[in-house]
A and B are shown apart, each in its own frame.
Chain A
Amino acid sequence: MASTYKAIATTTVSGTSTVTFSSIPQTYTDIHYVIYTPTAAGVNTNVNFNGDTGSNYSFTQTYAEAGYSTPASFRGTNTTYALSGVSDGNAAIHGHILNYSNTTTYKTLIDRGGGGRYINMDVCLWRSTSAITSITFGPSLSNGTVITLYGIKAA
């Protein structure tokens, strides 16, 4: 029986602030990623695809901060990255990149998570029809942060 949900790669951050997963196999339908940082230090999980640092991303984030009863939302347009789960430590963040391997549509990322002080959810758009072959997380990743990619097959 074919495996529907499969670990692709995992890495533990050590001595670097940015992590890139490259040569992502094109045999899945969606990507699920999990980011876990066990320390009290912060994690800033901006995301780039295929090394694209041009103004080809937009995102909307809704977040809440401890001590404040009113959530807030903000967005970035024409930015150089997709925003994914900014947090301040002891964070668990997971997201999905839908139809990452198709070459017809723009790519959508949705994620949610939180840490010591914040909770947030994001929707992000990469305005490219290229299949995603690499994903870069960072900057400002903390040592000990674990990032894992999983592939999900629709059939």
Chain B
Amino acid sequence: MGTTFELISAITVGSGGASSIEFTSIPATYTDLCVKLSVRQDASVVRNMVLKLNSSSSNFSRKTLYGTGSAASSTSGSDNVVSIAQGSDSTSNTFSSIEIYIPSYASGDYKSLTIDSVSENNSSTAYQVIDALLWSNSAAITAIALNPDVNSFVQYSTAYLYGVKNV
């Protein structure tokens, strides 16, 4: 019996940190992709991340809905700046939890993504973010890369890429 939800690749950031997390040579044999991340970066405050598909930052549009613990707001733009990765002002040893879901990633249609993110912080400020991202490109997704919009991911940040089959 085939496996519906299967680990494709796993990345753990080592002692030197990492400027980016990248999955390459993604096979086209699944229906959807799911990326689960636990990340922290070394900037002094929480930062967004840049998500590239097939090394591209072009042809993106984004809608974001987020809460800070005291207020809710939304933004939109023609960019690929999404999610949140917490920084050194967050409670020690805590990491942001993120899930990226990409249906029909290998189809010949434009690619729609949902991104759910939360930060962990023993404080009155913690973030919950959902992004809807559209990549107006009909190419199959073969690579996914994420980097903080400044600085680097710290040690023990992890990322897991799963393939999901609908049969």
Residue B64, interface by CB 8 Å:
yes
Q: Choose from B4, B74, B130 the contact partner of A68 (Cβ within 8 Å).
A: B74
Binds A, one of B8-16, B100-108, B144-152: B100-108
B63: interface (CB < 8 Å): yes
On whether the beta carbons of A7 and B166 are closer than 8 Å, the reply is yes
Asked if A148 contacts B63 (CB within 8 A), the reply is: no
- A92–B73 Cα gap in the complex (Å)? 21
A63 within 8 A of B: yes
- Distance (Å) between the CB of B34 and the closest chain A CB? 10
From the candidates A3, A71, A113, A148, name the one contacting B72 in the complex (CB within 8 A): A71
Q: Is A66 an interface residue (CB 8 A)?
A: yes
Residues of the A chain whose Cβ atoms lie less than 8 Å from the Cβ of B167: 7, 10
Q: What's the Cα separation between A114 and B76 when bound, in Å?
A: 12
CB distance from A33 to the nearest CB of B (A): 11
Query: Is A21 at the interface (CB under 8 A from chain B)?
Result: no
Chain B residues whose CB sits within 8 angstroms of the CB of A113 once the complex forms:
114, 132
Contacting residues, chain B, for A118 (C-beta < 8 A): 63, 132
Are A69 and B75 in contact (CB-based, < 8 A)?
yes
CA distance A114 to B75 in the complex (A): 13
Please determine whether B64 and A36 come into contact, CB atoms closer than 8 angstroms: no
Chain A 85-120 interface 0/1 with B at a Cβ cutoff of 8 Å (1 = within)? 000001111100000000000000000111111111
Q: Is the interface of B mostly helix, strand, loop or mixed?
A: strand
- Residues of A within 8 A of B (CB-CB), count: 39
Q: Is the CB–CB distance between B112 and A91 below 8 Å?
A: yes
Whose C-beta in chain A lies nearest to the C-beta of B72?
A71
**At the interface, yes or no: B32 with Cβ under 8 Å from chain A?**
yes
Assess A36 versus B103: contact at CB under 8 Å? Given A69-B75, A150-B4.
yes
Instruction: Say whether, besides A7-B167, A71-B73, A150-B4, A34 and B103 are in contact (CB < 8 Å).
Output: yes
A62 in the interface (beta carbon within 8 A): yes
One of A3, A34, A66 near B76 (C-beta < 8 A): A66
For residue B110, CB closer than 8 A to chain A, the reply is yes
Where the two chains meet, the residues of B that have a C-beta atom closer than 8 Å to any C-beta of A are: 1, 3-5, 31-32, 61, 63-65, 72-76, 101-104, 107, 109-110, 112-114, 116, 130-132, 134, 164-167
Task: Show 21 residue pairs from A and B whose CB-CB distance is below 8 angstroms, ordered by the A residue.
Answer: A3-B4, A4-B5, A5-B4, A5-B5, A38-B109, A62-B65, A64-B65, A64-B76, A70-B74, A90-B112, A92-B103, A92-B113, A112-B130, A113-B132, A114-B63, A114-B132, A116-B134, A117-B63, A148-B31, A148-B166, A150-B166
Chain A residues with a Cβ under 8 A of chain B = 3-7, 10, 34-36, 38-39, 62-71, 90-94, 112-121, 146, 148, 150
Ranked 3 nearest A-B pairs via Cβ: A114-B132, A64-B74, A38-B109
